[in-house]
Amino acid sequence: AQSVTQLGSHVSVSEGALVLLRCNYSSSVPPYLFWYVQYPNQGLQLLLKYTTGATLVKGINGFEAEFKKSETSFHLTKPSAHMSDAAEYFCAVSLSNTGNQFYFGTGTSLTVIP
Amino acid sequence: GAVVSQHPSRVICKSGTSVKIECRSLDFQATTMFWYRQFPKKSLMLMATSNEGSKATYEQGVEKDKFLINHASLTLSTLTVTSAHPEDSSFYICSARVAYEQYFGPGTRLTVT
């Protein structure tokens, strides 16, 4: 069975502090991995994605994520949080053996404390 | 590129009426589109997969007669919520698939009074 787990439904960080949002997946085939951000009453905005190649992926707004196959993880990080980073973050996996259906994590709500 | 639009962005309807939501791929063709429902503070729940020229595939527990999906062209899929009830109030998001990726629309907020 395929699944995506986001540890921590709520994460709070101080402005300027490191942001770390965790994502683990289970898959029997090589996954495509995605991080999305969602602001209130808006759709999903792609932050970054891993398909093949370099395992450290850089995205928009200073975010990056590293694919670690041995740990089945794809954690999202940002060195210094900004107030505008406060939002909901979703990790997703796309699998070729399911017609590239997306499986979403339950989401992590990020709060940035001034 | 790869922009997906939804219309309307917000809609309020009375209980018992039907409402149609459109999902368009603006600058590309999509043989497959997806419809999701999102409850407050929750993740996206896949409702159905819409394939151009064929019947939609619904996820378990989703009433196909209540949530009618039509994928009439390579750039348009519609979701019609029939005989809407207050419990159908939700945020509906569509996406269009290109290879292994999905491009998401901005969502439609449906409120049934």
Calpha distance A85→A109 (Å, rounded): 10
Write down the residue that tokens 């917000």 correspond to: B10
Q: Which among B7, B43, B110 is the top mutation candidate for probing chain A, defined by the most A β-carbons within 10 Å of its own β-carbon?
A: B43
Q: What's the pLDDT tens digit per position in A51-79? A: 989 999 999 999 999 999 999 999 999 99
The stretches of chain A forming alpha helices (DSSP H) are: none
**Number of Cβ atoms within 10 Å of the Cβ of A76:** 24
**Average pLDDT of the residues of chain B:** 93
Which phi and psi (to 5°) does residue A17 adopt?
Answer: -85, 165
Q: Which among A44, A52, A100, A101 is the top mutation candidate for probing chain B, defined by the most B β-carbons within 10 Å of its own β-carbon?
A: A44
Q: What's the pLDDT tens digit per position in A76-111? A: 999 999 999 999 999 999 887 777 788 899 999 999
Q: Please give the pLDDT value at position B2.
A: 86
Cβ distance of B100 and A94 shorter than 8 Å: yes
Q: Please give the pLDDT value at position A1.
A: 58
Calpha distance B83→A35 (Å, rounded): 35
